[in-house]
Amino acid sequence: MRIKKIMSLLLIAILVVASVSGCKKESNDKYKIGVIQIVEHPSLNTIRDSFSAQMKELGFIDGENSEFEYKDAQNDMTTAISIIQSFEADEKDIIIAITTPAAQAAAPASENIPVVFSAVTDPVGPGFVDSLESTGKNMTGTSDALDIDKILDLALTLTPNIKKLGYIYNSGEPNSVSCLETVNEYAAANGIEVVASAITNSSELQQASQVLVTKVDAIFTPNDNTVALGMQILAKVAKDAKIPVYVGADSMVADGGFATVGIEYTDLGKETANMAAKILKGEAKASEIPVKVFNEDLSTYINPVTAQAIGVTIPDSILNGDKTKLLGE
């Protein structure tokens, strides 16, 4: 009887250990990690590369104990959905979705696979999470929520005679739609008229830009993936018309936009990896990890080549600021 009792206790102990480590891989298994980004673009590539580097730092080695699969949806939602379906069929252990459209495509899969998003401006609006503090879903991630007030404060400092502000965006991107609401609130409080120009794909960008520059004193575009993809087109049209373009990301400044106030995108990728590692190791569920919003320690990014082209002189107080970074074309 004593031996049977000991054996029963050992069996119970084994079951308890197994249940606690249920999310962890056996030593001969590999973590299967699917990474989707909506399009190839410098800001998004920075997030992806930073994520990959941090995952390696945390012990997730591609080809050894992990299998990373990277997919680009080429700015097409049908392709994005197809990629997610392939991730589901392959029974990925986690999905990393870079940008709001990628997170939209991945959201249905979160019923069975944890999803960690990155560079989602407004994760609550589309229903990815219930709140930033308690996601309530099998999803969490990092947000690059824009400080639109600071960007437009900069715009009024650099180009104070703005009476009409153009806003160009893809009406199919929820983050861009939500940003428009904030722009309208700022504009109303500062006596500015907003002229919104909605596009549905990058092929419409040039014509929309050419029309918009005839109506406004300046243009603002958020972290809109469609506009970012064609940023050089918008920048050229605006420079020819001597119109400043304020943007949502540093890469858009590098591509010819005039200025922005924002974050370092390497930080987004790194924190996204930290979250993914916790989930894969069984240390926390996605629903238990709050969304991390990067809205502190912001830098000012200015393109001096664009400034010269549109005839704007940058004040020394901004040009020589500790948090000012100059980006060329």
Taking the chain (329 residues) in runs of 10, the rounded mean pLDDT of each run is 50 42 57 94 90 97 95 94 97 96 96 95 90 93 91 96 97 88 96 96 94 97 90 96 95 93 90 97 95 88 96 92 84
Q: Are 291 and 141 in contact (CB under 8 A)?
A: yes
Q: Any idea what the Cα angle at residue 128 is, between residues 124 and 129, rounded to 5°?
A: 60
CATH classification at residue 101: 3.40.50.2300
Largest CA distance in the chain: 92
Which pTM does this prediction carry? 0.78
H-helix segments, the chain? 2-20, 42-57, 77-89, 100-106, 148-158, 174-189, 205-212, 225-229, 231-240, 250-254, 265-280, 304-310, 316-319
Contact call for residues 114 and 95 (beta carbons, < 8 A): yes
Q: Strand pairing partners for 220? A: 167, 246
Asked if the structure places residue 163 within a domain, the reply is: yes
Q: Is residue 5 part of a domain?
A: no
Residues 158 and 255 in one domain: yes
Residues 152 and 247 in one domain: yes
275 part of a folded domain: yes
Neighbouring residues of 94: CB distance < 8 A, sequence distance ≥ 6: 31, 32, 33, 34, 113, 114, 115, 116, 276, 279, 280
35, 178: one domain: no
Does residue 41 lie in a domain region? Answer: yes
**170 and 140 within one domain:** no
Question: What is the per-residue burial (b if ≥16 Cβ within 10 Å, else e) of 97-114?
Answer: bbbbbbbbbbbebbeebb
In a domain, 120, yes or no: yes
- Both 287 and 182 in one domain: the answer is no
Q: Which domain holds residue 112?
A: 29-144+265-293
Q: Are 284 and 252 part of one and the same domain?
A: no
Count of Cβ atoms closer than 10 Å to residue 280 Cβ:
22
| CA–CA distance, 234 with 257 (Å, rounded to integer) | 8
Residue 12 pLDDT:
46
The answer to whether the CB of 218 falls within 8 A of the CB of 189 is: no
Residue 238 neighbours by CB under 8 Å, 6+ apart: 209, 213, 219, 244, 245, 310
Q: What's the pLDDT score for residue 329?
A: 53
Do 158 and 94 have their domain in common? Answer: no
CA distance 69 to 142: 20
6 part of a folded domain: no
Q: How far is CA 161 from CA 164, 217, 240, in A?
A: 9, 8, 19
* Domain match, 87 and 133 both: yes
176 with 137, same domain: the answer is no
Helix (H) or strand (E) holding 97: strand 94-98
Domain count, the chain: 2
* 13 domain-assigned: no
What b-and-e string marks burial along 196-226, b requiring 16 or more CB atoms within 10 Å of the CB?
Answer: ebebeebebbeebbeebbeebbbbbbbbbbb
One domain, residues 156 and 249:
yes
45 and 107 in a common domain: yes
Task: Report the Cα 177 to chain-centroid distance in Å.
Answer: 15
Q: Are residues 35 and 72 in the same domain?
A: yes
What is the structure's pLDDT at 311?
95
CB 256 within 8 A of CB 306: yes
Specify if 249 maps to a domain.
Answer: yes
